[in-house]
Chain A
Amino acid sequence: MYRSHVLVCGGTGCTSSGSEEIIQALQAEIDKNGLTSEVSVVKTGCHGLCALGPIMIVYPEASFYSMVKVEDIPEIVSEHLLKGRVVTRLLYNETVTEDGMKSLSDTAFYKKQHRIALRNCGVINPENIDEYIGTDGYQALGKVLTEMTPDEVIQVVLDSGLRGRGGAGFPTGRKWQMARNFVQDGGQKYVCCNADEGDPGAFMDRSVLEGDPHVVLEAMTIAGYAIGASQGYIYVRAEYPIAVERLRIAIGQAREYGLLGNNIFGTDFSFDIDLRLGAGAFVCGEETALMTSIEGNRGEPRPRPPFPAVKGLFARPTILNNVETYANIPQIILHGANWFASMGTEKSKGTKVFALGGKINNTGLVEIPMGTTLREVIEEIGGGIPDGKKFKAAQTGGPSGGCIPAEHYDVPIDYDNLLAIGSMMGSGGLIVMDEDNCMVDIAKFFLEFTVDESCGKCTPCRVGTKRMYEMLDKITKGQATLEDLDKLEELCYYIKENALCGLGQTAPNPVLSTLRYFRDEYVAHVVEKRCPAGVCKALLSYTIDADKCKGCTLCARNCPANAITGAVKEPHVIDQSKCIKCGACMEKCRFSAISKK
């Protein structure tokens, strides 16, 4: 028995801010102080507050240390672990109160969260199957295999109202039912897991894989039992090395424990899982492209029907669910459909994990009940927008989604509401934009991503998105006409109707939603040749106010293009033909003499 457990986040976020070094230093310091048998160091998955990493939690006090540095380790060990005195200066300031410390779950960031999919992330050691079992892991599988028929399993999933967390929100139970009902020849079926998370700014699947890999294995095995499959594949991107490594460890341990392989729990049900690494193509997150890639071919979507539940991987009935979807399954089995369905809105049950990014204070991962409003997520959980700037829009759904303007700040977030306001749930990226963001520029950013990631199979996506990008580029350079704007909009609707796969069909959404809510910004670029947010460089000019300029020469010395001239103590002038609009002059000027417009 240890008297104290120190949990250090080993997720990708904290690892990249140095948590590996911290774990090493911590263990060394513990050993040095003779505490080896009293204090256990646990490398966990992600806690969600990635902006504050590296993160360390010391139990039993549950002290939440943030932004820990290697230099802080001796103090934490000698003060906290040896003498029992919490190092207040290193605590996450939200947890510090006048009379001591408050629980993490009472902080604004965690208070409104409800962690089901992320239940074990940051809590257990993901590389130790016993810790997963210690938190009810594999109990659901046991229950399913020994007490339930496949149809009962599917009924529970159906009744829970769980919908696909990968983006489109297709009812998970119905997908399973379709695959189960396909019994034409009694041959092989497959269970696949989509861990090819690719939306810019979304990393919830990575977090689950890194922090709680067994939950995915358990859920896939349950799915295998439900549809009658004996083989599963997890398609995970190779850019997630930690997740891949932990999945490998988890699969090995599960096989060792007899939780994967032949005759699981002594039943006649056998199931195994293998990993397939994706090479980084965004389109491989599309289900048919993903399966084509597993088959060893160039990852490109194929037309549907036939749907994967009828003819999927290797032309066999296949179900494909996203990581977060699977992460809900064992809890639904254990606590029942009603428990899950009691959370959320009428048609969107349970919780959803969002990755908060952009202009927001608490960058990180949050899991909230469906129906939480955007305002709650951004203002309360996310801690608002930095520097007191004004909220302008939130982008959800990644390159397939859209921008939600301030007028919809209080819409409860669920699948149908987001669709109705021109965006979509997507995998859960939520990027916050403030008044300094140009919406045309944002649309162009997402289009650039789509153009780059288009597989090139169908004409509308391969050529159409490229032409859309070129039109947007023209707009941001002030070279477009109002006719071009109409042409752009027409092309958007054409691509939505004509593209082969979901990625192509949704590619115009960032443009259509910004046109819907921020058309005036487009018009300003086109008609007035002006970027209202001051982002589009071609439309900007920096000028020096001769009355305010003291002739200090600082701007001229800092200009990388030598575009500023002027004698000492005389007003300076910017040569517009040389200016590259980098803004260095304005940043350096101590007299606010330089303005951009």
Chain B
Amino acid sequence: MANVNIKINGMAVSAPEGSTILEAAKIAGIDIPTLCFLKDINEIGACRMCVVEVKGARSLVAACVYPINEGMEVFTNTPKVLDSRKKTLQLILSTHDRKCLSCVRSGNCELQKLCRDLKVDDEHLYDGERIEYEIDNSAAHMYRDNNKCVLCRRCSAVCDKIQGVGVIGANERGFKTNLSSAFEMGLGETSCVSCGQCIAVCPTGAISEKDNTNEVFAAIADPEKVVLVQTAPAVRAGLGEAFGYPIGTNVEGKMVAALRRLGFDKVFDTNFSADLTIMEEATEFLDRFSNGGVLPLITSCSPGWVKYCEHYFPDMTENLSSCKSPQQMFGAIAKSYYAEKMGIDPKSIVMVSIMPCTAKKFEIGRDDEGRDGMADVDIALTVRELSRMIERAGLNFSALPDEEFDDPLGIYTGAGVIFGATGGVMEAALRTAVYKLTGDEAGPVDFTEVRGVEGIKEATYNVNGTEVKVAVASGLKNAKELLTKVKNGEANYHFIEIMGCPGGCVNGGGQPQVHASIRNFTDIRAIRAKALYDIDAASKLRKSHENPAIKELYETYLGEPGSHKAHELLHTTYVKRGLYN
């Protein structure tokens, strides 16, 4: 593509044709501040933080959406520009609940950072009427506090354009404009799928997960309780960011050390139950594949996706794998096999999970999870909540030693860890399914066709002369596109992996929030995913069925994959919700 030559603050800059002023300025080493802008998601030029002067233009223009053209002269730092940005912030502040000291985003708030960068010296300048909004905590996983909303609309854009859900949007108009659901319904009453992508992109504390950290601290302090913790694959690739590590740093060892120092009795890994999921799901797939079952089989690890399927594709719930998610399988095994093995009363176990996900908070309360009056998992925390616990406990994260998970539920293969990236479940399943079909221990390990951040991927594999057609989608808008094709008969697959969040769990709604100023220029999905694939590549065992702890579990307790006992503990059912239930 041809380059366009412009001048920014008098300096010559050359940028690809079609670039915005924001992008050209980035090339020139100038970060123009933004607030509402999310590349490819929310390009609406609404907040006016990024205004710049363009020679000859009638008014200031929004750099985030204004295309450059040959010979353009841009000024990013004139007194008029700086004063305008400051006034914009002051106007936003006049409607903002300025309880920064007690805000969950304090220190990590984009609005706060902008105010500091632009030297807002009088946050009361435009004080006037403020509308008091009620907090919406009707959903299982999150709350919305419109008193802190800056109306950037990043949440509604991601909900609509990326997830195809669209349960939040602007209501009212003018000064009364607010982001909420249709007819001011509580989010819990809508067909929100709990994915938490809105939380991940919110620049302030207006949207956040429900905080369950106090319950965890209380359980740990209770001498009657045995508090177990499991950490999802993608957590180790995200947690470090909360402590200043570069995006995509694997902090597994320090995470384990931190959890141990927080007082958990045992520190286990969801990677273990990811391997277990593969044993069950690969078996289920081969059974359906060979015996004329409902195909395509669609994975069920992602509770955001499962809820989406129940709301938006209720006629396809039969396609969902009956396997519980790895989180739930882990809890079920911990409170049965592990409890028996260790001689612990399962009722005294508090099962805590650390998840890159908010839908996990919804999932633990689903019907047909748990048994004998016990939930499989008692408390699901996001990565952000864990980081807050570590801060609160005063643990110096970077100074912690690297430690290892406890046995036996901390043993995993490379197949388990790549569950955290889109395509990972498919690849892990293929590794085991191909082995089961061919019996060849030296069979393929790398199925690179299903890797990468593209929204929809497809591949066909020839296994023992049989074609197996697979597809992988992440992000629910992509899932919708893929399933619509399947429903209309335009595409035909045997096995589909769907993850609710774009890029999979590495970009889950429970991961540390990354400021838009970084997101807009970095693909955090790919960088975090690389950390997981690196672990996989370095693993001695890379196929789930090779996991010795899994082998022992089947040999001593479950019998065969898909056995009656396995079904009782590890499988579940779904609800045909429809749009309005």
A contacts, CB < 8 Å to B: 281, 283, 298, 300, 302-303, 305, 451-467, 470, 487, 491, 494, 496-500, 505
Contact = CB atoms under 8 A, between A and B. Distances in A.
Nearest to A490: B87
A459 B91 contact: yes
Interface in B92-111: 92, 94-95
Interface in B367-414: none
A451 B59 contact: no
A454 B174 CA distance: 4
A540 B345 CA distance: 81
A497 B84 contact: yes
Contact of A466 (B87, B88, B129): B129
A37 B168 CA distance: 64
15 contacts: A283-B173, A302-B44, A303-B45, A303-B62, A303-B66, A455-B173, A456-B177, A457-B44, A464-B91, A466-B128, A466-B175, A467-B128, A494-B84, A494-B87, A498-B51
A454 B175 contact: yes
Contacts of B66: 303, 305
Contacts of A496: 59
B91 A460 contact: yes
B44 A303 contact: yes
B46 A458 contact: yes
Interface string B103-135: 000000000000000000000011011000000
B457 interface: no
A500 B59 CA distance: 10
Contacts of A466: 128-129, 174-175
Given A452-B174, A456-B151, A505-B59, A463 B46 contact: no
Nearest to A460: B48
Contact of A463 (B45, B126, B172): B126
Contacts of A300: 170
Indicate the member of B92, B94, B174 with the most A CB atoms within 10 Å: B174
Interface in B157-176: 169-170, 172-176
A287 B60 CA distance: 20
Given A305-B66, A305-B67, A462-B175, A467 B44 contact: no
B417 to A, nearest CB: 42
A459 B88 contact: yes
A461 B172 CA distance: 15
A456 B170 CA distance: 9
Given A454-B173, A458-B46, A498-B51, A470 B129 contact: yes
Contact of B94 (A283, A460, A463): A463
A217 to B, nearest CB: 32
B88 A456 contact: no
Contacts of A464: 91
A175 to B, nearest CB: 17
B46 A498 contact: no
Nearest to B69: A305
B460 to A, nearest CB: 33
Contacts of B177: 455-457, 462
A455 B80 contact: no
Interface in B51-66: 51, 59-60, 62, 65-66
B516 interface: no
Contact of B173 (A456, A458, A498, A500): A456
Interface in B164-199: 169-170, 172-177
Contacts of B125: 487
Given A451-B175, A463-B94, A491-B126, 4 more contacts: A456-B172, A458-B48, A460-B91, A465-B175
Closest 7 CB pairs of A and B: A456-B177, A454-B174, A303-B45, A463-B91, A466-B175, A470-B128, A303-B65
Task: Specify which of A454, A461, A466 lies most central, judged by the most chain B CB atoms within 10 Å of its CB.
Answer: A466
Contacts of B151: 456, 459, 462
Most buried by A among B60, B87, B169: B87
B298 interface: no
Interface residues of B, number: 34
Contacts of A452: 174
A483 to B, nearest CB: 11
Contacts, number: 101
B46 A459 contact: yes
A576 to B, nearest CB: 28
A13 to B, nearest CB: 29
A459 B129 CA distance: 15
Contacts of B129: 466, 470
Contacts of A460: 48, 88, 91
Tell me which of A302, A451, A467, A505 has the highest count of chain B C-beta atoms within 10 A of its own C-beta: A467
A220 to B, nearest CB: 29
A459 B47 contact: yes
A453 B84 contact: no
A14 to B, nearest CB: 33
Contacts of A465: 174-175
Nearest to B60: A497
B288 to A, nearest CB: 40
A453 B177 CA distance: 11
A336 B4 CA distance: 43
A298 B174 contact: no
A591 to B, nearest CB: 44
Most interface-central of A462, A487, A505 (chain B CB within 10 A): A462
A498 B174 contact: no
A463 B92 contact: yes
B48 A498 contact: yes
Report which residue of B60, B128, B169 has the largest number of chain A beta carbons within 10 angstroms of its beta carbon.
B128
Nearest to B62: A303
Contacts of A499: 48, 59
B74 to A, nearest CB: 15
Contacts of B45: 302-303, 458, 500
Contact of A457 (B46, B65, B126, B128): B46
Contacts of A303: 44-45, 62, 65-66
Contact of A500 (B46, B83, B84, B92): B46
B51 A298 contact: no
Interface string B15-57: 0000000000000000000000000000011111001000000
A494 to B, nearest CB: 5
Nearest to B35: A459
A453 B174 contact: yes
Contacts of A456: 151, 170, 172-177
A470 B129 CA distance: 8
B91 A467 contact: yes
A414 to B, nearest CB: 20
Nearest to A306: B67
Q: Which of B48, B65, B128, B172 has the most CB of A within 10 A?
A: B48
Contacts of A461: 174
Contacts of A457: 44, 46, 170, 177
A390 to B, nearest CB: 36
A459 B59 CA distance: 15
A71 B500 CA distance: 73
A508 to B, nearest CB: 12
Contacts of B91: 459-460, 463-464, 467
A18 B183 CA distance: 39
A15 B151 CA distance: 44
Contacts of B48: 458-460, 498-500
Contacts of A283: 173
B79 to A, nearest CB: 12
Contacts of A487: 125
A487 B124 CA distance: 13
A184 B67 CA distance: 19
A467 B94 contact: yes
B520 to A, nearest CB: 16
A281 B170 CA distance: 15
A464 B83 CA distance: 14
B203 to A, nearest CB: 13
A451 B174 contact: yes
Nearest to A474: B128
A462 B87 contact: no
